[in-house]
Amino acid sequence: MGIATINPATGETLKTFTALSDEQIEAKITLAAATFPEYRQTSFEQRSQWLIKAADILERDKAKFGKIMTLEMGKPIKAAIAEASKCALVCRYYAENGAKFLADVPANTDATSSYVRYLPLGIILAVMPWNFPFWQVMRFAAPTLMAGNVALLKHASNVPQSALAVEEILLEAGFPQGAFQTLLIGASKVEGIINDDRVKAATLTGSEPAGAALASAAGKQIKKVVLELGGSDPFIVLESADLEEAVNVAVTARTLNNGQSCIAAKRFILAEAIADRFVEMLTIEFQSLKVGDPMDENTDIGPLATPSGLEEIDTQVKQTVAMGGKIVTGGKALSDRPGNFYPPTILSDIPAGSPGEKDEFFGPVALIFKVKSLQEAISLANDSPFGLGASAWTKDKAEQEKLINEIEAGAVFINGMVKSDPRIPFGGIKRSGYGRELGIQGIHEFVNMKTVWVK
């Protein structure tokens, strides 16, 4: 696949880029390696100032950055501008807390003095996806740079302008030239970079196959990797739930980012007593959503990012229906316009063995399941290869506690939507990956936790 901005709302190629040559990749790694020894000596205070400046730039130019995101991957413009603001938030969070998170941790031993010191590793490679083209990068970059590491970014090939914009923001903020560099390269170049001795670790957000490939390459080199992969998050609604609030949140949880989010609610697991009413209310809400030009502030659902993404979700829905699933609303790609548009869709009566039962649906499709008991809800939620996030709705404290303890996921949100927040760790278990981003845990992923013992 070429590196290009292709407007997903029209199919028009707006800008193409030439991938870096091997010599250019080598020059960028060499610059990163040369920058690290000096950069690691900068103070927390200095890095903090640079991150605050980056936050100011993100806020100042959020409309401009929002437009780039929307043009490249199709998210509604309001959501794109909000994403730029959220990036400012993560910069400020690590600017304010990084020094505290990385302070020496004393230990009582037989030494005169013993403690853990957190020190940077060197060059960290980030392989990032198109669905949150600024946020995914900044939530990696802020803690990584605050910790004293330097970074190389291989972004998705359909968001090159977003990738270059992030580098420009950090340079304008004052970070040294080689501290953060964007590499416009195809996926085939990643293994060569991870094999380079100067690159110390890697992080990837993306698909399961991409994660497995990177982890395999890094494993051969004994290098640390953090993976945030797919999800098929359950959204469990039990009898005591506030139904109106659950439905309102369910709409956003399934359709945010045009349904293209790893932590989107995908499987709606409903107690039989409230299931029909929930589906009825959800259908009304889905049918009222405006699908259209993502640059229009009134649009709720823009296009899917790529033609292949549209084809995949269309195929998944067709196969599920062919096996016995029922379309409640939507269910067909919109062929009355150019671009990769798929309507908000609800499928019920999901057959065993169908894509609707097991696969991740990366688009605005809600999958409905009915259960007779709490235990059945938990068993169904866990009957998935993924374990990223889960949302559960109940006012019953005992039910809440059981859900928190027994759902197999990196995050459980009770009476709320699963979301990433700089203040709490983010990541999954099972085939959703390993390691954590954000919070204090995120900044500790790419440091040497060095034990110091002095007598």
**One domain, residues 39 and 186:** yes
**One domain, residues 126 and 209:** yes
**One domain, residues 371 and 405:** yes
**One domain, residues 448 and 317:** no
Let me know: does 53 contact 174? Beta carbons within 8 Å: yes
Looking at the domain assignment, is residue 71 inside a domain? yes
**One domain, residues 310 and 265:** yes
Looking at the domain assignment, is residue 427 inside a domain? no
How many separate domains does the chain show?
Answer: 2
DSSP string computed for 371-404 = ESSHHHHHHHHHSSSEESEEEEE-S-HHHHHHHH
Looking at the domain assignment, is residue 347 inside a domain? yes
Q: What angle do CA 249, 254, 255 make, to 5 degrees?
A: 100
DSSP string computed for 391-450 = EEE-S-HHHHHHHHHH--SSEEEESS-----TTS-B--EETTEES-BSHHHHHTTTEEEE
Looking at the domain assignment, is residue 135 inside a domain? yes
**One domain, residues 294 and 161:** no
Which residue range forms the structural domain that includes residue 214? Answer: 3-229+432-454
Phi, psi of 404 (to 5 degrees): -60, -45
Amino acid at 213: A
**One domain, residues 393 and 253:** yes
Give the span between the Cα atoms of 9 and 295, in whole angstroms. 9
**One domain, residues 331 and 206:** no
| 91 carries an active-site annotation | no
Given 167, 228, 312, 357, which residue is catalytic?
228
Looking at the domain assignment, is residue 426 inside a domain? no
Show pLDDT as tens, one digit a residue, over the chain (455 residues).
589 999 999 999 999 999 999 999 999 999 999 999 999 999 999 999 999 999 999 999 999 999 999 999 999 999 999 999 999 999 999 999 999 999 999 999 999 999 999 999 999 999 999 999 999 999 999 999 999 999 999 999 999 999 999 999 999 999 999 999 999 999 999 999 999 999 999 999 999 999 999 999 999 999 999 999 999 999 999 999 999 999 999 999 999 999 999 999 999 999 999 999 999 999 999 999 999 999 999 999 999 999 999 999 999 999 999 999 999 999 999 999 999 999 999 999 999 999 999 999 999 999 999 999 999 999 999 999 999 999 999 999 999 999 999 999 999 999 999 999 999 999 999 999 999 999 999 999 999 999 999 99
**One domain, residues 440 and 377:** no
Crossing angle of helices 272-288/243-255, nearest 10°? Answer: 50
| 87 carries an active-site annotation | no
| CB-based contacts of 225, cutoff 8 Å, min separation 6 | 201, 202, 203, 204, 214, 215, 218, 219, 435
**Partners of 391 in the beta sheet?**
235, 413
The pTM of this model reads 0.98
Query: Exposed/middle/buried for 145, CB within 10 Å: 0-12, 13-18, 19+?
Result: buried
Give the span between the Cα atoms of 136 and 260, in whole angstroms. 13
Let me know: does 367 contact 347? Beta carbons within 8 Å: yes
Looking at the domain assignment, is residue 323 inside a domain? yes
CATH number for the domain harbouring residue 257: 3.40.309.10
What pLDDT score was predicted for residue 362? 98
CATH number for the domain harbouring residue 217: 3.40.605.10
Looking at the domain assignment, is residue 282 inside a domain? yes
Sign of the CA dihedral with 244 first, then 390, 259, and 94 last: positive
**One domain, residues 83 and 139:** yes
**One domain, residues 247 and 301:** yes
Given 83, 167, 262, 312, which residue is catalytic?
262
Give the span between the Cα atoms of 124 and 150, in whole angstroms. 6
Looking at the domain assignment, is residue 425 inside a domain? no
**One domain, residues 318 and 444:** no
